[in-house]
């Protein structure tokens, strides 16, 4: 996405958001440190989102090399890197609201999954102080990790509908009701979301849950349409892969929990603004099966 188009989208949102947000802020500013920032929140938000759309692996290099050399006209009043990192913590609420404002449309076909967000190597868990008492040990099919879990629901067009961050030891099924509260239609997930009790609750709210079966479970009747869409569950696994390897929501260089959250939110926004996202593609046989059904 072009820099100008992204900035306009952020700036238009912030003009409306600031009017509501300032009404809820405390009027006492006696504890504020340092002079007022020469950069607006919209400019800072645009930069952190652009980083996740770039090929840079570290934000420091991106801010100190790419921004001054290629974006000097767009951001003439940029502050020093250390000042920017300090001020960046104040972007959490605007970024969260901006992501929520640009969430995808509920199409009636949704997919749910979780992915690990590792914050340090397993050998350095005892020495990690940044996420002490915050991150927890969890286990996936790839093994143990120390960090958090990102729970996502996406539609068949690859757009993010809902997300939630939890500690690494939280089970996937425990987040199901919370994530799907604004979802309707059919929801497809893996074996980790098997729960007859929760499935009944969701059905009462207009959400029909479909999951793959464990090896020790008896096969159950499922409509051919649902079998086809359940097979396409790899769409959300592809999205998780892109979030980590392209949007860079996972790395082990965080210096504070606040900047970890900023990195996560801006990465999700960068993905949401991608022009080409993973989507459901049906082959000729599958289309024929759906027509017959």
Of 46, 74, 101, at which residue does a domain stop?
101
Say how many CA atoms lie within 13 Å of 193 toward its Cβ.
Answer: 25
The pLDDT of 57-79, averaged and rounded, is 93
| pLDDT per position as a tens digit, 93-127 | 999 999 999 999 999 999 999 999 999 999 999 99
For residues 122 and 193, state if they share a domain: yes
What was the pLDDT predicted at 26? 63
Q: Report the number of distinct structural domains present in the chain.
A: 2
CATH number (domain holding residue 187): 3.30.420
CA distance 84 to 61: 13
Q: Beta partners for 208? A: 186
What was the pLDDT predicted at 289? 56
What was the pLDDT predicted at 290? 57
What was the pLDDT predicted at 36? 67
E strand or H helix at 187:
strand 185-189
For residues 203 and 120, state if they share a domain: yes
For residues 86 and 136, state if they share a domain: no
Out of 16-20, 26-30, 143-147, 170-174, least confident range? 26-30
The pLDDT of 244-248, averaged and rounded, is 93
What was the pLDDT predicted at 212? 85
Beta strands in 47-178 (DSSP E): 109-120, 136-140, 143-155, 160-167
Query: Is residue 145 assigned to a domain?
Result: yes
Q: What is the pTM of this model?
A: 0.89
DSSP track, 46-85: HHHHHHHHSS-S-HHHIIIIIHHHHSTTT-TT---HHHHH
For residues 163 and 202, state if they share a domain: yes
Query: Is residue 82 assigned to a domain?
Result: yes
Query: Is residue 282 assigned to a domain?
Result: no
The pLDDT of 173-178, averaged and rounded, is 94
What percentage of the chain exceeds 70 in pLDDT? 89
| Whether pLDDT at 141 is above 90 | no
The pLDDT of 246-275, averaged and rounded, is 93
For residues 166 and 223, state if they share a domain: yes
Residues spanned by the domain of 10 = 3-23+35-101
Helices 257-272/81-88 angle, 10° precision: 90
Contacts for 48 with CB less than 8 Å, ≥ 6 apart: 59, 88, 91, 95, 262, 263, 266
């Amino acid at each position: 996405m072009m820099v100008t188009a992204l900035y306009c989208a952020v700036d238009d949102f912030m003009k409306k958001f600031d009017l509501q947000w300032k009404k809820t802020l405390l009027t006492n500013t006696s504890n504020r440190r340092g002079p007022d920032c020469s950069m607006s929140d919209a400019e800072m938000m645009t930069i952190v989102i652009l980083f996740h759309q770039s090929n840079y692996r570290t934000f420091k290099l991106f801010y100190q090399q790419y921004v001054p050399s290629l974006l000097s006209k767009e951001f003439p009043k940029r502050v020093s890197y250390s000042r920017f990192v300090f001020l960046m913590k104040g972007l959490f609420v605007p970024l969260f609201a901006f992501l929520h404002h640009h969430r995808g449309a509920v199409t009636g076909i949704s997919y749910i999954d979780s992915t690990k967000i590792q914050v340090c190597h397993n050998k350095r868990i005892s020495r990690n102080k940044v996420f002490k008492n915050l991150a927890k040990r969890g286990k996936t099919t790839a093994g143990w990790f120390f960090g958090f879990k990102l729970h996502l629901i996406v539609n068949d067009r690859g757009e993010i509908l809902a997300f939630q961050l939890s500690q690494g030891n939280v089970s996937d099924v425990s987040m199901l009701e919370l994530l799907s509260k604004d979802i309707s239609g059919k929801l497809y997930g893996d074996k980790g979301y098997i729960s007859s009790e929760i499935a009944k609750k969701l059905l009462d709210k207009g959400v029909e849950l479909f999951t793959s079966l464990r090896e020790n479970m008896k096969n159950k009747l499922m409509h051919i349409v649902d079998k086809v869409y359940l097979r396409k569950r790899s769409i959300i696994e592809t999205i998780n892969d892109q979030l980590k390897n392209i949007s860079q929501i996972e790395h082990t260089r965080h210096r504070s929990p606040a900047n970890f959250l900023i990195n996560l939110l801006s990465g999700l926004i960068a993905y949401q603004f991608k022009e080409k996202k993973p989507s459901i593609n049906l082959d000729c046989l599958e289309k024929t099966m759906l027509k017959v059904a």
